[in-house]
A and B are shown apart, each in its own frame.
Chain A
Amino acid sequence: MRLNKIILSFISALAILFSTSVVSLAKVVGDKIVLGAAISLTGKYSSNGVHTQNGYNMAVDRINSMGGVKVGGKTYKFDIIYYDDESNPKRAAQLAERLISQDGVEFMLGPYSSGLTKAIAPVTEKYGVPMVEANGASRSLFTKGYKYLFAVLAPANLYLDVAIDLAVEKNNGKGVSVAMAFEQDAFSQDVRLGVLDAIKRTGSKKVIDDKLPKELNDMAATLVKVKQMKPDVLVVSGHTKGALTAIRQISEMKVDVPMLAMTHCDAAKLSKQHGKNSQYALCASQWHKTLTYKDDFFKDGMTYDADFTKEFGYAPPYQAAESSAALLVFKDAFERANSFDQKKVRDALAATNMQTFYGNIKFAEGGQNVDKPMVLFQVMCDDAGKCENKVVAPTKWASAKLIHPIPSWSKR
């Protein structure tokens, strides 16, 4: 009886082992190139996770319908296996293992957020799986010497240094005083480092340097200090909640500051939630629909915006646009490598030098995109209260003139 049990469990163990290896998908099945992605479809990053997935899907459909990927004289189509990482870094790393060792995926797309990309990168690196990611901007991702990680977006330290340059320019080249409030997470702290570099470079000085907690929903103390110190620029980075909390409390407390620069206004739908109170805020963005970059698949930003809105029912935030760009980069690399050999594809990715609707893409040694500057847009509202984001810097891409200094609350 006991022996029977042992034999039975042995057989079932073998069966499980075989079943997993049988269902394994190869990297290329028939005419399909299978990419893997762990994405936050539930949990705290689920909104941006969905934007990322929509961006990927949009590009897959577009590339497939426009002829697919040509490798070795044959045409292939993209396909993506998705798993939900539940916004949890540990889960993301497990899923990356699973995608590679069980599903046989040999090329990966990135997850949403720097934290999750950090969790996955060591895994893809270990297996030598090229990963093109579109939503991990933390500088620390690009200083670890990863060979298989490529990011289509500009690193986090470049998000807000443009704002400091702009303030200095408006101050006739003289240094300005800067108040900073940054959340304590990898991304925001990298943004902070970038601002600190800019402060040093321009001879400016920091007057407030507050760190905001993860559970942030009240930054009144920081704003009281801002009222007291009267800095030239206030820089805030604390994801969506940071942007929303800042605007709410700045307007309630009537804090006057000549320039206010933030991140994540796009995801926060700032003007939709706060209307005219969000006016004049400067927001760092990876992409804006009015930029005039072009490619063969999505044409330009305006067309992408229209097509995406038609398909998904909402205007694409930059998280979606950069995710779509990741697929364009993969297609380009496969065709140049003319092979599915991971090393060759990796080398082709490293040599990428192309323009997409999202921006120019060229990778530095560390894998970050060095050919695409960040843009700053300013929230501008008309008298009827309808607000729009208009690009004001860098000057080359500006579609409106920066309003500076911000009019005081008593005059609004």
Chain B
Amino acid sequence: MDFMVFQYPMISVQACLDGVLLGILFALIAYGMALQWGVMNIINIAQGDLVILGGYIAYFMYLYGIHPAWGVIVSPVVMYFVGIAIYKLVINKVVDRDLFISILATFGISILFMQLMNFAFGADVVLANSDYGTTMLFNNNVVLPNSKIFSAFISILFAVCLVIYMKKSKLGRAIRATAQNARAAKILGVDTEKVYAATFGINAALCGVAGALISITFTIHPYMGLPYTIRSFMIVIVAGLGNLPGVAMSGMGLGVFEEFADYILGTEFRIGSVFLLLVLILVYRRFKLSRKREYLK
């Protein structure tokens, strides 16, 4: 245990800001997951792998001399079609089935993606340099890489656009209707098959944006997807489905929690602490539910 973070107030400020910026990025991935979970009742284990694939798209643009920030536009477009393809090939066969089947199917997709990416791009760890520089705050005591600020800004931008799209557009309304009651939506003329495909595509596109941002901010590697899946799963569990402000808040909360866990418990427990928190929240939820059940009795 190390309580340095409390001895130096500037480190606390640094941890909070780092956590919030990171959390916003997590929230974007989680929002995609919440969307397709809510609409299709599918838990997508391959979420993190879609993120990494999106990252590779930005990385390859960078390799060919294009600034990786353009990946934020190109990657979601490509990933949208990848998402549609995955839906047509696999997901449409499991969409009405048991949740367990969908977990197995997406787990399979996850393994396949990892191996394919490893095969196609190699096992090297890669990154795309944005050369955005650094912002210094509080007399140079707090440093924020501009790439992180850029990531958070773009994530918010995409999230806001998506919310507006879901509220105003025809497809958005159809998606929301399907999420509320697929059968009723179908009876009222919504082509749910199309809605499902579009939802999965939108989710993949969001993963594409996040991946491009991760390649600019951190590093990417074919086997690095799982921690992103776990984090988004955790955020969705805490926030609930269809609750965007909740997803944003719990994303930032998780980011700050991770940063503080890193300082206090040590970097080695960073991901472990996320798992621990997940277990605690699940136990707490169960406890709350069982109390409610008793009350009903």
Is A211 a contact partner of B266 (Cβ separation < 8 A)?
yes
The distance from the CB of B22 to the nearest CB of chain A, in whole angstroms, is 8
Asked whether A248 is an interface residue with its Cβ less than 8 Å from the other chain, the reply is yes
A268 and B143 CA atoms in complex are apart in Å by: 26
Residues of chain A within 8 A (CB-CB) of B125 are 240-241, 244, 268
B124 CB contacts on chain A under 8 angstroms: 47, 240, 267, 269
A181 and B266 CA atoms in complex are apart in Å by: 11
Contact of A44 with B268 in the complex, beta carbons under 8 Å: no
A407 at interface by CB-CB < 8 Å: no
What's the A-B contact tally at a CB cutoff of 8 Å? 97
Chain B proximity of A116: nearest CB distance (Å): 14
| B109-128 Cβ-contact flags toward A at 8 Å (1 or 0) | 00000010011001111110
Q: How far is the CB of A230 from chain B (nearest CB, A)?
A: 13
Q: Digit string of B197-223 for contact with A (CB within 8 Å is 1, else 0)?
A: 000000000000000000000110111
Supposing A46-B118, A273-B126 touch, asked if A252 and B268 sit within 8 A by C-beta, the answer is no
Measured as residues with beta carbon below 8 angstroms from the partner, the interface class of chain A is: 35 or more
Residues of A within 8 A of B123 (CB): 43-47, 87
CB contact between A213 and one of B18, B118, B226, B271 (< 8 Å): that residue:
B271
Give every chain B residue within 8 A of A268 (Cβ-Cβ): 125
Contact A184 B268 (CB under 8 A): yes
Question: Min CB distance, A41 to chain B, in Å?
Answer: 10
What chain A residues lie within 8 Å of B145 (beta carbons)? 249, 252-253
Residues from chain B with a CB closer than 8 A to the CB of A45 are: 123
Task: Confirm or deny: B267 has a beta carbon within 8 angstroms of a beta carbon on chain A.
Answer: yes
Q: Is the CB of A221 closer than 8 A to any CB of chain B?
A: yes
| A contact residues around B263 at 8 Å (CB) | 221, 224-225
Interface check B191, CB cutoff 8 A: no
Chain A residue at minimum C-beta to C-beta distance from B262: A221
> Given A42-B115, A47-B123, A274-B129, A221 and B134 touching (CB < 8 A)?
no
Asked whether A335 is an interface residue with its Cβ less than 8 Å from the other chain, the reply is: no
- The reply to whether A220 and B18 contact each other, CB–CB distance below 8 Å, is yes
C-alpha gap A323/B125 in the complex (Å): 22
Q: Say yes or no: is B64 at the interface (Cβ < 8 Å to chain A).
A: no
Q: Does B49 contact A (CB under 8 A)?
A: no
Chain B CB within 8 A of A215 CB: yes
Question: What residues of B have a CB within 8 angstroms of the CB of A227 in the complex?
Answer: 143
Complexed CA–CA distance, A84 and B296 (Å): 59
Complex contact A222–B11 (CB within 8 A)? no
Chain B residues 122 to 166 lying within 8 A of chain A, measured CB to CB, are 122-127, 129, 134, 136, 143, 145, 147
B217 to chain A, nearest CB (A): 9
Chain A residues closer than 8 Å to B219, beta-carbon distance: 217, 241, 244-245, 248
Residue interface mask A216-238, B partner, CB < 8 A = 1: 11111110110110000000000
Write the nearest CB–CB distance from A248 to chain B, whole angstroms: 6
- Asked whether A213 lies within 8 Å of B267 as measured between CB atoms, the reply is yes
Q: CB distance A225 to B4 under 8 Å?
A: yes
A and B contact pairs by CB, cutoff 8 A, 8 listed: A211-B267, A211-B268, A213-B269, A228-B11, A244-B219, A245-B218, A253-B145, A267-B124
Query: What are the 6 closest A-B residue pairs judged by CB atoms, nearest first?
Result: A252-B145, A211-B268, A221-B262, A217-B218, A241-B125, A46-B123
Supply 18 further A-B pairs (C-beta < 8 A) apart from A87-B123, A224-B15. Answer: A42-B115, A43-B118, A44-B118, A46-B123, A210-B267, A212-B268, A213-B267, A215-B227, A219-B267, A220-B18, A221-B262, A240-B124, A240-B125, A241-B125, A248-B127, A248-B218, A252-B145, A275-B129
Question: Which of A's residues lie within 8 Å of B, judged by CB?
Answer: 42-47, 87, 181, 184, 210-213, 215-222, 224-225, 227-228, 240-241, 244-245, 248-249, 252-254, 267-269, 273-275
